[in-house]
Structure 1
Amino acid sequence: MAELKRYGCDWALEPFPDRWRKSQLQIFYPIFWIALLFLLMGLGASGKETSPRVLSGILGGSVTFLLNSSGDEDIEHVAWSFPPKSLALALSKGDILILDKEYNGRLKISNGSYSLCMTNLKKEDSGSYHALISKKNSVVSTVENFILHIYEQLKEPLVSVKSVTSSENDSCIVTLICMVNGTEDDVHYSWAQMDTHSNESHGSHILTVSLSACDPDLPYTCTARNPVSQSSSQPVRVWPFCTGAFRRKTVGETVVGILGEPVTLSLASLASQDTRNVVWLSNTLIISKEWKGAATADPRQTLKDPEEKRVRISEEDYSLKISQLKMEDAGPYHAYVCSKASRNPSVKHFTLLIYKRLKEPSVTQSPVHMKNDICSVTLTCSVEDGGNNVTYTWMSLQKKVDMSQRNSHLSIFWKSGERLPDFTCTAHNPVSNSSSQFSSGTICSGPKGHMKLWILRLLGISLLLLGMLGGCYILKQKKQCKCSRITLPTLRSLCVCKL
Structure 2
Amino acid sequence: MSCQYSLVFLFLFGFTTALTVAEICKTDLLEGTSCTIKLPTKNTDKSNEIKWAHLSSDALIHRKNGKIKKPIPGLTMEEDGSLKFESVSLKNTGKYTYTVYNAEGTQIDAGEKEITVYAKAPKPTLTINYKDGISTLTCHFRERPDLTVSWYKEDIIIQNENNPELLLTSAQVQENKTYSCSVSNPVSKEQSNSITVSFLKTCRQELLEGASCTIQLPTRNKEKPSEIRWIHLSSGDFIQWKNGMIRTSTTDLTMEEDGSLIFESVSLKNTGKYRYFVFNAEGTQIDAGEKEINIYAKAPKPTLTFQVVTMLSCDVGKRTDLTVSWYVDGKIIQNEKNPVLLLTSVQVQQNKPYTCTASNPVSSRESDGMTLPHETAITEF
**Which interval holds the TM-score relative to the shorter structure?**
0.3 to 0.5
Higher helix share: 1
Q: TM-score, normalised by structure 1?
A: 0.36
Higher strand share: 2
